[in-house]
């Protein structure tokens, strides 16, 4: 179990780091839109698809690994017996997960947009504009934005994939249990 926990923690940390890199690029591009004169209500969050694709790729990979772990564990418990697996349709599972992760990507992206926009408006009310606005905005964001939403997204994605994969592995071999 320690090996599994260590792997999950490592994969969560790597995914979190990748998500934060995407967030930082998104933040910079949102700031650039605002500084460039785009009305705050018209500011868009870039790279949501990049984030979504990363989450889906990671989910599917972790799902396959955890599903295989269950089969390997069962095989060790019944040495010499070849396990006959039932077919588990993962297509439906993946469709639901894609919808859920898409919703979560929209949520963190909208939150980021709102945070950047709110701070920009606060600084504009103080009379800041141009390079001074950009400099102050980036400093405020550096101090106020946390990694919490991104850490939660990474952890939830990895743990959900692990649990879903293990469940599918057990369902595939339920007749052998």
pLDDT at residue number 119: 97
Looking at the chain, the number of H-run helices and the number of E-run strands are 5, 0
Structure tokens at 24: 């930082």
Reading phi first (left if > 0) and then psi (alpha if -120 to 50, else beta), residue 2 is in alpha
Output 2 or 133, whichever has higher pLDDT.
133
- CA-based radius of gyration for the chain: 21
64: DSSP letter: H
How far is Cα 48 from Cα 106, in angstroms, rounded to an integer?
Answer: 7
How far is Cα 55 from Cα 98, in angstroms, rounded to an integer?
Answer: 9
* pLDDT reading at 89 higher than 90: no
Reading phi first (left if > 0) and then psi (alpha if -120 to 50, else beta), residue 146 is in beta
Q: Are 145 and 59 in contact (CB under 8 A)?
A: no
How far is Cα 176 from Cα 170, in angstroms, rounded to an integer?
Answer: 9
Indicate the pLDDT class of residue 92, thresholds 50, 70 and 90. confident
For 132-162, write each residue's pLDDT tens digit. 999 999 999 999 999 999 999 999 999 999 9
Burial of 85 from C-beta contacts in 10 A (0-12 / 13-18 / 19+): middle
pLDDT at residue number 171: 79
How far is Cα 23 from Cα 108, in angstroms, rounded to an integer?
Answer: 9
pLDDT at residue number 139: 97
Percent of the chain past pLDDT 70, that is, above it, reads 92
Structure tokens at 109: 């992206």
User: How far does Cα 128 stand from its chain's mean position?
Assistant: 34
pLDDT at residue number 177: 56
pLDDT at residue number 151: 95
For 25-52, write each residue's pLDDT tens digit. 999 999 999 999 999 889 999 999 999 9
pLDDT at residue number 134: 96
């Amino acid at each position: 179990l320690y090996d599994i926990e260590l792997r999950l923690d490592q994969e969560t940390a790597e995914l979190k780091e990748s998500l934060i890199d995407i967030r930082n690029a998104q933040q910079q591009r949102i700031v650039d839109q605002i500084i460039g004169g785009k009305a705050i209500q018209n500011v868009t969050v870039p790279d949501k698809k990049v984030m979504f694709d990363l989450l889906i790729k990671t989910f599917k990979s972790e799902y396959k690994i955890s599903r295989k772990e269950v089969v390997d564990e069962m095989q060790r418990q019944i040495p010499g017996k070849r396990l006959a697996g039932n077919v588990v349709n993962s297509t439906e599972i993946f469709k639901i997960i894609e919808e859920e992760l898409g919703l979560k990507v929209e949520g963190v992206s909208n939150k980021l947009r709102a945070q950047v926009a709110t701070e920009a408006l606060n600084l504009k009310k103080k009379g800041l504009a141009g390079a001074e606005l950009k400099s102050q905005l980036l400093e405020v964001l550096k101090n106020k934005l946390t990694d919490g939403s991104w850490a939660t997204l990474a952890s939830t994605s990895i743990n959900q994939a692990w649990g879903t994969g293990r469940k599918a592995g057990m369902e595939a071999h339920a007749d052998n249990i």
